[in-house]
Structure 1
Amino acid sequence: MSLERAVRAKIASKRDLAMDKEAQTWVENILEWKFPAGQEYEEVLKDGQVLCKLMNKLAPGSIPKINESGGQFKMMENINNFQKAIKDYGVADVDVFQTVDLWEKKDIATVTNTLFALGRQTYKHPEWTGPNLGPKPADECKRDFTEEQLKAGQTVIGLQAGQNKGATQAGQNIGAGRKILLGK
């Protein structure tokens, strides 16, 4: 098996078809439009048009121009515009797929994960009343401590501090192996 094939097989094994289907259903519900029958999930998303329309539903006007024709650079521009718009919407950089992951179908699992990150972000936008995707993110749990409580915490030695009772470096050969010389 060639290295490229092995890499593709490993990436494909990360893919969860149930998550793909859940993301597809979410997109279809928001756009009130069904993916064409017989066409694969990644093929429908590949040119970025559906993604841009999705983003414009979530945040109207966030992508003013969607390229519907043109060469591959125009279609990849759609994907880039989607990526910029979701970052502006609040999706973290680490949750955004690379353009080639979708365009060249290198890692569709990351594309789905990006859609889930976008779906979670909708919870933080009260203006969005449509369906959400994925679990609701936890709210901040802010705590206020008094000065007295903070000072009391300074006297406690944490368990991470540990102890070194009986610890020595005996038996450690750092970097050098043991040399045994036999005399004649």
Structure 2
Amino acid sequence: MSCVRRLMNALNPGSIPKINTTGGQFKKMENIVMFQNAAKAWGVPDLDVFQTVDLWERRNIPQVSQCILALGRACYLHPEYEGPCLGPKPAEENKRNFTEQQLRAGEGIINLQYGTNKGANASGINFGNTRHM
């Protein structure tokens, strides 16, 4: 459980200031909650953050892995972080503003220039089946 705390502090130093190493289960589970809060603050969506019991009781390790991958993708959003990132770079918004003239010019294009779905196609193909003639 301490590896996720160290991971978060390596990405964002001081994000988890106090790490509980002694105490009962609840003190140690509090470390996981601190990691979850720090991950959300770093930019990980709530959907990707695992439940505390997923890691503590090892109930849903794939969800924990998904959270770590989301944390790696969130690294791209922080230019101050100079270390390696994990996973693909998140897409950035690329808003386009077309003028009324450009929109009208698109109406003059013949649709068949884009191709057609008429004629010979692959419908009716049965893979692994013999052709009965």
When normalised by structure 1's length, the TM-score is 0.54
Q: Is the 8 A contact 1:49 1:67 kept in 2?
A: no
Deviation at 1:89, TM superposition (A): 0.5
- Cα distance in 1 between the residues matched to 2:63 and 2:74: 16
Which residue of the partner structure matches residue 82 of structure 2? 129
Which residue of the partner structure matches residue 46 of structure 2? 93
Query: Which runs of 5 or more residues in structure 2 are unaligned?
Result: 107-133
Q: Root-mean-square deviation (CA), in Å?
A: 1.9
* Partner residue of 2:59 out of 106, 128, 139: 106
> Is 1:138 matched up with 2:91?
yes
- Cα distance in 2 between the residues matched to 1:129 and 1:75: 30
Deviation at 1:146, TM superposition (A): 2.2
Query: Which runs of 5 or more residues in structure 1 are unaligned?
Result: 1-47, 154-184
Query: In the TM superposition, what are the counterparts of 1:37-52 in structure 2 within 5 Å?
Result: 48-52=1-5
Deviation at 1:147, TM superposition (A): 4.2
- Cα distance in 2 between the residues matched to 1:102 and 1:73: 13
Percent of counterpart pairs with the same letter? Answer: 62
Deviation at 1:148, TM superposition (A): 4.6
Which residue of the partner structure matches residue 67 of structure 1? 20
Moved over 2 A (4+): 145-153
The structure where helix makes up a greater share of residues is 1
Deviation at 1:145, TM superposition (A): 2.2
When normalised by structure 2's length, the TM-score is 0.73
